[in-house]
Amino acid sequence: MTVIVESLDQEGRGVAHVEGKAVFIEGALPGEHVTYSVFKKKPNYDQATVKEIHRPSAMRAVPKCSYFGICGGCSMQHLEPSAQVAAKQRILEDNLKHIGKVSPEIIFRPTYGTPWGYRHRARMSVKFVEKKGGVLVGFHEKRSSFIANMDSCEVLPARISALIKPLRDMFSGLSILNRIPQVEVALGDHVDILVLRILDPLSEHDEVILKAFADQHHIQFWLQPQKEDSAYPFYPLDAPMLSYSLPEFNVTMPYRPTEFTQVNAGINRILVRRGLQLLNPKQGERIVDLFCGLGNFTLPIARSGAEVVGIEGSLELVRRAQSNAAYNHITNASFMQANLFDATRESIADLGHLDKMLIDPPRDGAFAVVNALNEAHLPHRIVYVSCSPSTLARDAEVLVHTKGYKLKGAGVINMFPHTAHIESIALFEQ
Annotated binding site for [4Fe-4S] cluster: 65, 71, 74, 153
Task: Report whether 368 contacts 394 (CB < 8 A).
Answer: no
Q: What is the DSSP string of 221-245?
A: EEEESSSGGG-EEEE-TTPPPPEEE
Q: What is the DSSP string of 1-37?
A: -EEE--EE-TTS-EEEEETTEEEEEET--TT-EEEEE
Residues annotated within a binding site = 65, 71, 74, 153, 262, 291, 296, 312, 339, 360
Phi, psi dihedrals of residue 73, rounded to the nearest 5°: -70, -35
Active-site annotation, residues: 387
Q: What gap in Å lies between CA 237 and CA 220, rounded to an integer?
A: 8
Task: Report whether 220 contacts 195 (CB < 8 A).
Answer: no
Residues annotated within a binding site for S-adenosyl-L-methionine = 262, 291, 296, 312, 339, 360
3-state SS of 141-183 is: ECCCCCECCCCCCCCCCHHHHCCHHHHHHHHHCCCCHHHCCEE
The single-letter code of the amino acid at 57 is S
339: CB partners within 8 A, 6+ apart = 313
Task: Report whether 239 contacts 191 (CB < 8 A).
Answer: yes
